[in-house]
Every structure is written in structure tokens, then in C-alpha cells.
């Protein structure tokens, strides 16, 4: 299972953040069209979370996927928050544009993880969950309670997910986080199979991951999935970076320069960004979200495009990508 759980047929998946109304209020009908387009184009890895849209995304994925043969696709969701239905007036402020009427709390105990999985199965109507990610157990999400929740997870989530995997109830588990440290902490304390690396590795920002994250997961035999290879839309031209409105200094200029060089080689920065992530041996899959069917089609096109080697050489020569970073070889 280790190192090869996600095979090449799953290297492009569909993430569920946008379908959870992260950036705009897409309707049930629009989300269905996005999922149908992904399916028709051969995408067979689908990732979501009860957090996305306060359970809305999970329900939308389930409504679509429960009509398919479970052996035909891989499905992952997440644990770490528990949800309770509340009046609309009590729904907490979140990043979601049109969430369902739920409140939540972080909980990484064994009982909470088992309850979360049961509730995800009920919401989706699926017979099984293939991969379970421990969601947002990271300082950027839980603040100075990180050490407390990490200890909770070591005694709870880490152990129960290993047990569920060993019993064959799930196929794999790992962290789903925006920072490097939680993945390293998990590898040190437990035996994860696969981790969702949300904002640590992209064509724009990857040096720290190359030096610290990739060697650690390679040594541990842990695969990575990229959850924000486009920096949550910044690479496509959106005015946000890694789910926030603050753009790091110099990043717009870096993006624009890479886009300019891409044009010179008759390609574009989005295609290059997708291929850059997958060029790293440690990344088994990339799962960009989509708020339009055209984005899904473009991701498939990006996967199958050959970009001239001179493009990558020029990026390295200008210091736009790290000299130690792997680039596509098109063997």
C-alpha cells in the first residue's frame, strides 16, 4: 500500500472546495455539471470534506457518486470537525458563500473520528470511504491549540485510522493540512499512507517543501496529493493567494513573468503549474477544484500537454523555480 496507493490513473482528481461554495454560490445544478464533466473526461479521484460548505460539498459529491459503481472511483473525505444543525441566525461566519445551516467544533479523538466517518457515509450515501484525511490539524487553523490537538490526535485519530485501515474499512489515511510541520509530526508519531498537501507546493512557492517535506515523505514511503497547486486560483489570475486576500510581496510579478515565458513557448502558466506539481516523484495526484466545467476540461488538457524542456530550463536560469525542484521529463 505504501508509496503506490494512488496509481497513475488517479493523478488528476477533482477537489471539492469550489463545489462547497468557497468563492461563489454555485448551484446544485452547476455542481452536478462539473462532476459529470469530470466523470465524462475520465477523472476517477474525488476529494471533499464536511467542512466545505458546512457539509454541502460532501452531499453534492455523494448525490453524484452514489449512482456510480464504487469500484470505478476513489473517494476521499476528511475528519477533525464535528457538525451540528443550527438555525440560520447561528451559522458562524466562514469562507463559504452559501453554506448549509451548521455549526462545528474541532475534535480529533477516536470517538469523534468514528462519528465523523459514519456521518460522512450517511451524507454521501456511499458504501465506503477510500482515503480519510485528518483535516486542518495545523497552526494556521487551530492556532496555539495545535500542541493540544496534536496530542489528542496521537491518542485518537492516528490510532483509530490505522486500525480502520488494518481492518480494511478504509484503504489509506493521512493528514490534510496547509503546513509542512503537521505532516512531519504525523510521520514521526504514526504510519500514514498519503497526505494532502494543500498549500506547500506550487510552481510559485515550493523551496521549503523541496528541502524538508519531500525528503521526509519519500523516506517514510508516504504519497502526497496536491490540494492547491494553483494557489487557490492565484495562478489563474484570481486576486487571492492560498485562500486569502493578501498577496505575498513579489508574487504577482513572479506569476506574470512565468506567464510571459510560458507564452513564448506556446503554453500557459496553468498547464505549467499542474505539470510542475506532478513532476515531483512524491506527488501522486493533483486535485484542483472547479467552479465551471471549462476549468475541468482545461485541467485534463493541461495533464496531456507537452511543454518544451527549454521552458523549464529558462525558469530555472532566471531563478523562478528552485534549482533542486524536479521538472517534467516527458519520457
- Note if 148 is an active site residue: no
Per-residue buried b or exposed e for 166-184, using 16+ beta carbons within 10 Å of the residue's own CB: eeeebbbbbbbbbbbebbb
* CB distance 5 to 172 below 8 Å: yes
Task: Indicate whether 298 belongs to any domain.
Answer: yes
Task: Indicate whether 234 belongs to any domain.
Answer: yes
Task: Indicate whether 61 belongs to any domain.
Answer: yes
Domain count of the chain? 1
- Note if 40 is an active site residue: no
| Predicted pLDDT of residue 220 | 97
Q: State the cell numbers at 142.
A: 487551530
| Predicted pLDDT of residue 189 | 98
Catalytic one of 10, 45, 46, 47: 47
Distance of alpha carbon 145 from alpha carbon 291, whole angstroms: 33
Residue 170 CA from chain centroid, whole number: 18
DSSP class of residue 167?
T
Task: Indicate whether 297 belongs to any domain.
Answer: yes
| Predicted pLDDT of residue 4 | 73
Residue 46's DSSP bridge partners are 14, 75
Task: Indicate whether 1 belongs to any domain.
Answer: no
Task: Indicate whether 292 belongs to any domain.
Answer: yes
| Domain region containing 46 | 8-318
Task: Indicate whether 205 belongs to any domain.
Answer: yes
| Predicted pLDDT of residue 329 | 86
Per DSSP, the three-state class of 286 is: strand
- Note if 78 is an active site residue: yes
Q: Residue with C-alpha cell 510521520?
A: 187
Residues of the chain with pLDDT below 50 are: 1-3
| CATH number of the domain encompassing residue 78 | 3.20.20.100
Residue 176's DSSP bridge partners are 135, 196
pTM of this structure? 0.96
Task: Indicate whether 323 belongs to any domain.
Answer: no
Q: pLDDT, tens digit, for every residue of 154-191?
A: 999 999 999 999 999 999 999 999 999 999 999 999 99
Residue 226's DSSP bridge partners are 197, 286
Q: State the cell numbers at 327.
A: 521538472
Q: State the cell numbers at 27.
A: 448551484
Q: How far is CA 109 from CA 103, 185, 192, in A?
A: 18, 17, 17
- pLDDT-above-90 percentage for the chain: 94
Amino acid at each position: 500500500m505504501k508509496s503506490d496507493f494512488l496509481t497513475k490513473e488517479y493523478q488528476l482528481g477533482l477537489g471539492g472546495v469550489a463545489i462547497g461554495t468557497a468563492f461563489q454560490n454555485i448551484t446544485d445544478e452547476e455542481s452536478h455539471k462539473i462532476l459529470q464533466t469530470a466523470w465524462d473526461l475520465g477523472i476517477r479521484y474525488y476529494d471533499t470534506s464536511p467542512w466545505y460548505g458546512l457539509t454541502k460539498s460532501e452531499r453534492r459529491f455523494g448525490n453524484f457518486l452514489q449512482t456510480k459503481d464504487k469500484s470505478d472511483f476513489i473517494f476521499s473525505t476528511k475528519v477533525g470537525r464535528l457538525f451540528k444543525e443550527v438555525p440560520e441566525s447561528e451559522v458562524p461566519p466562514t469562507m463559504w458563500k452559501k453554506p448549509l445551516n451548521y455549526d462545528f467544533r474541532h475534535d480529533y479523538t477516536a470517538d469523534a473520528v468514528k462519528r465523523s466517518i459514519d456521518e460522512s457515509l450517511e451524507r454521501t450515501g456511499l458504501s465506503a470511504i477510500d482515503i480519510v484525511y485528518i483535516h486542518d490539524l495545523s497552526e494556521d487553523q487551530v492556532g496555539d491549540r495545535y500542541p493540544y490537538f496534536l496530542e489528542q490526535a496521537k491518542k485518537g485519530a492516528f490510532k483509530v485510522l490505522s486500525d480502520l485501515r488494518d481492518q480494511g474499512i478504509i484503504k489509506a489515511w493521512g493528514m490534510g493540512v496547509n503546513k509542512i510541520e503537521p505532516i512531519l509530526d504525523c510521520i514521526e508519531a504514526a504510519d500514514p499512507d498519503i497526505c494532502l498537501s494543500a498549500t506547500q507546493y506550487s510552481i510559485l512557492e515550493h523551496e521549503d517543501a523541496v528541502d524538508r517535506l519531500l525528503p521526509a515523505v519519500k523516506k517514510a514511503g508516504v504519497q502526497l496529493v496536491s490540494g492547491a497547486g494553483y494557489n487557490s486560483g492565484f495562478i489563474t489570475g484570481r486576486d487571492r493567494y492560498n485562500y486569502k486576500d493578501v498577496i505575498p510581496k513579489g508574487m504577482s510579478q513572479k506569476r506574470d513573468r512565468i506567464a510571459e515565458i510560458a507564452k513564448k513557448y506556446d503554453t500557459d502558466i496553468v498547464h505549467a503549474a499542474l505539470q510542475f506539481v506532478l513532476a515531483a516523484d512524491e506527488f501522486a495526484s493533483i486535485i484542483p477544484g472547479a467552479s465551471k466545467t471549462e476549468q475541468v476540461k482545461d485541467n485534463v488538457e493541461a495533464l496531456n500537454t507537452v511543454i518544451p524542456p527549454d521552458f523549464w530550463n529558462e525558469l530555472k536560469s532566471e531563478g523562478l523555480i528552485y534549482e533542486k525542484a524536479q521538472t517534467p521529463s516527458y519520457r
